[in-house]
A and B are shown apart, each in its own frame.
Chain A
């Protein structure tokens, strides 16, 4: 349906989706039929050159936990104003069941020039009464002036600052946008999501009352990362730690150190020290593979910190459809830290 250089009618897409459900219903075994599941509209904005198979696999993995109407928009930089679309279903058969569960997927091909037209197409395709999440996979799209039209449909826009070349600039820009967003609209950053396990380990260390008592004495934070330039993840973690320590009455300095290696955004060490003390109050060091060594109070424990896939990151973000005040504070502090 539709063709490059053509237009698409949302009513037509909705009609095609209705037909799709009739067809799926007929294919169902006996009386089992298919079960339609939907908890949100997930709009994915990607470049035409982005790995279509990887996006499809990520969406398929997300569907059982976050069943959604997925609208995948693939942009090409060149070409005249035009849109085309097709609809299909993502189905799975839960183990031990006779009934398939299916989610709808709409794929739209668009040129940059047609970006101003897209909001009018996407808006009627969103599922009523359910949240709309926009996952922007391309830094280039984020910078296009008309992108804000598409973003305004969504309650939450998910970006990945790791994909941008300059962490400080993008953090500053994101903080600016975040502050200007209307009530009921939020921004998320997968660089922050990558830190959840690190942050949770740190928080868990200080659940222990003996360790908590040491918190006001922390004077120095060391964060080691792989990239040559300090990545957004390091700024976020540093800013979050400084804020937390300030609440505990400690005024700590943060030092970033590059260890080199890949992936660039990955952290390798975080260490909290008191002035003049030989031993760290707490440290988490990435060891071999995905294991991390947690040292605190003379005890050493192991935790797993696997590299997180797009699926794992989006799974976490989709579980938070509303405001995330801890992230908002960290973004503001990280932007300030990166520019200082």
Chain B
């Protein structure tokens, strides 16, 4: 008889980033259903669903409750970095696993987290390279005032400045703020080669709408002349942005609905069958979907859901995901993913402009990154330069 394994699903399906969180939770439901229908598995998942409503304290309380009182070993969830940082101590204390399924700014590798979303070498580095090559090296940066925007702007600045370019202005808005008019005036004055947008949610939609109005008045700021680029823009958000303004938006992402593959066609068909024909999947829903499937595969392999055994079985494992082959890196528990760049269309989809030839090793600390040669992909072990070693290594004298 199939035994039930409780897993936590922790998504803020109400609150300021609920559009994204609902798409993420959908990815989890889809994968749980797939696992539970899999006849080769002698277990099934019983999801414990919590909505922390974007409140940090709720995140921590929910994790304490699940890990301490319900003895849950695995929780899939969190979207923002602040919520992830808030709950990691709980997972370390109870030695349980958090499956973090979203792109983020990197510079972390907890032993109690598996990261299935994109690392900075998957999102901001390929985007910077592409924008510099195709549009120029003067960027205008606007972002929501928290770590995601700060860190991405810093990486972008380093790449641009190392290549003779600059960030002409760097502006931050409070999360949820729609105060974007002064930015438009500033952009009109500065005439950047492109905009890098790290706004989230409502602020992003308001900003893109305001740029669209500028474009209607002055075609010199059109999407081909001064495109808006973004590392977190996904299909569900194009609904909020509208068809006109969606055209020409450039998004850096490891997943787009428009990927042509058998796995992706099946993923989208299942997604629509579950959530309606109008429902659209996103990179984050795919990352959640991947996380649940990898978890199930590891539990099947070791025959237990104990966190330690599952982690050991997860490192180095792989699945054929909608985006292509995904492998969990043995060193840092992030995933090999396939960077892509998409251009927004008016039908809530992206045309794929660039696609990495193969999955790229995650580099959360940008150890193998060189701002002067952003083209060099050094994340792949085979092309890594030899570590600097002294010719005559002195002996330690006892």
The answer to whether A and B interact is no
